[in-house]
Amino acid sequence: MYEFVSGPLVWIAFIVFVSGMVYQFVTMLRSAKKDKVIYPYMSLKYSLRSLFHWMIPFASRNMRARYEVTIVTFLFHVCLILVPIFLLAHIVMFSFAWGLKWGALSSVAGTDMTIIVILACLFFLIRRLMLPEIKFVTDPSDYLLLAIAAVPFITGLAANQQWFDYQATVIVHIITGAVMLMVIPFTRLSHMLFFPFTRAYMGSEFGAVRNARDW
């Protein structure tokens, strides 16, 4: 079982992820081409201005109005991206499979950042359950996606700390990580692809057309 999930399943997950993201990218470009106002409105200057502005914590009025959400959201996304890429155990796996190596996070940093992701998911869950305006627009798929994001980190932490049977925990960790990777292109998690283009269009429309800021 371990040989399958750490070998073929990982390959399948990456193939689905990459091909799915390429499909979404091509579909997005074709849809934008059909809309007669998107490409003509695009401005490199205002696209970059908007993109970089929204990547700075507390730069927008909405971020400043909800400081706790801003802090948790930025920490969540930073750790969610860096931990899978720079965790030593993952680098060793990539090195064994493809001969690739790069710098790794320290064990302490990797553990702390994993805990941050888990706590952030708990924060988002409580927020969806407690705030009426968010609960109203929440459907079961939101809870499922939150679980898909959280479980690989929970099982990774459990494996690292050897709380349960190590091999079984690692197998569950790899499977849930593969599931997360494969669903990204086909769910709202794909905003990791669409975010730069959405911000680019919004920045261009507000800056070049409305002569205003989009924050």
Q: What is the pLDDT along the chain (215 residues), one digit of tens a residue?
A: 877 887 788 889 989 999 999 999 898 888 877 777 777 778 888 888 888 888 888 877 778 888 899 999 999 999 999 999 999 888 887 777 777 788 888 889 999 999 999 999 999 999 999 988 888 888 899 999 999 999 999 999 999 888 988 889 999 999 999 999 999 999 988 888 788 888 888 888 777 777 767 66
Structure tokens at 19: 């091909």
pLDDT on residue 176: 96
pLDDT on residue 17: 94
DSSP 186: G
Structure tokens at 182: 């494969």
Continuous H helices in the chain = 2-6, 8-34, 38-41, 44-54, 61-65, 67-86, 88-98, 107-130, 132-135, 140-161, 166-183, 191-204
pLDDT on residue 215: 64
d(CA 129, CA 122) in angstroms, rounded, equals: 11
Structure tokens at 40: 């003509």
**Pick from 111, 152, 150, 157: which is nearest to 128 by CA?**
150
- Is residue 75 classed exposed, middle or buried when 0-12, 13-18 and 19+ CB atoms within 10 A define those classes? middle
Q: Could you give all domains of the chain from N- to C-terminal order, each with its CATH number?
A: 2-23+60-189 (1.20.950.20)
pTM of the predicted structure, to 2 decimals: 0.85
Structure tokens at 187: 């769910």
d(CA 169, CA 171) in angstroms, rounded, equals: 5
- Quote the longest CA-to-CA distance of the chain: 60
Helix (H, G, I), strand (E, B) or coil at 199: helix
pLDDT on residue 147: 95
Q: Yes or no: say if 134 and 127 are a contact pair by the CB < 8 Å rule.
A: yes
